[in-house]
């Protein structure tokens, strides 16, 4: 599953005010070469999460933004749980959460929502996106 990793980084860029991300930026952020990043961004566009603008990069559409927010929300709620339960540092929690956030099933996702729905920021201080369904 390559998309969740990319979508999260694209969303992080979007949060920082970078609406279009190119293969060079993505390659550096994810730690892959430019060609691999280019292919992944093309695939994201063909999956319906956004558009690839020639010579510029990928931009999320509404569908992509929504899915990215759902992922980021899961990721950051999971960080809250990991820090609180296992006492890991926010940085370690982020790394651990990144490995499993996209794989969480419905019941754990729901339990996380119930436990942490009052939280507005994750342990690193980033905003936990609200998702309207
Ligand atoms: Zn994180």
- What pLDDT score does 1 carry? 60
For ligand 1, the distance from its centroid to the CA atom of residue 81, given in whole angstroms, is: 12
For ligand 1, the distance from its centroid to the CA atom of residue 46, given in whole angstroms, is: 27
- What pLDDT score does 70 carry? 94
For ligand 1, the distance from its centroid to the CA atom of residue 54, given in whole angstroms, is: 30
Residue 92 is part of which domain span?
66-116
What residues have their beta carbon closer than 5 A to ion ligand 1? 94
- Give the Cα separation of 132 and 10 in Å (integer): 20
In tens, the pLDDT along 35-86 reads: 999 999 999 999 999 999 999 999 999 999 999 999 999 999 999 999 999 9
CATH label of the domain that carries residue 10: 1.10.10
This prediction's pTM = 0.91
Q: Are residues 41 and 70 in the same domain?
A: no
For ligand 1, the distance from its centroid to the CA atom of residue 94, given in whole angstroms, is: 4
Residue 105's CB: how many other CB atoms inside 10 A? 7
Domain count, the chain: 2
82 and 88 in contact (C-beta within 8 Å)?
yes
| Average pLDDT over the chain, rounded to an integer | 94
């Amino acid at each position: 599953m390559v998309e969740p990793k990319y979508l999260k980084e694209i969303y992080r860029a979007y949060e920082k005010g970078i609406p279009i991300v190119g293969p060079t930026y993505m390659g550096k952020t994810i730690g892959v070469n430019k060609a691999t990043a280019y292919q992944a961004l093309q695939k994201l566009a063909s999956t319906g999460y956004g558009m690839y603008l020639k010579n510029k990069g990928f931009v999320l559409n509404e569908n992509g933004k929504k899915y990215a927010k759902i992922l980021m929300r899961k990721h950051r709620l999971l960080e809250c749980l990991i820090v609180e339960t296992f006492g890991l540092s926010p940085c370690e929690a982020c790394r651990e959460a990144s490995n499993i956030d996209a794989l969480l099933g419905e019941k754990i996702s729901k339990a996380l929502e119930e436990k942490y729905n009052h939280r507005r920021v994750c342990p690193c201080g980033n905003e936990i996106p609200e998702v309207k369904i």
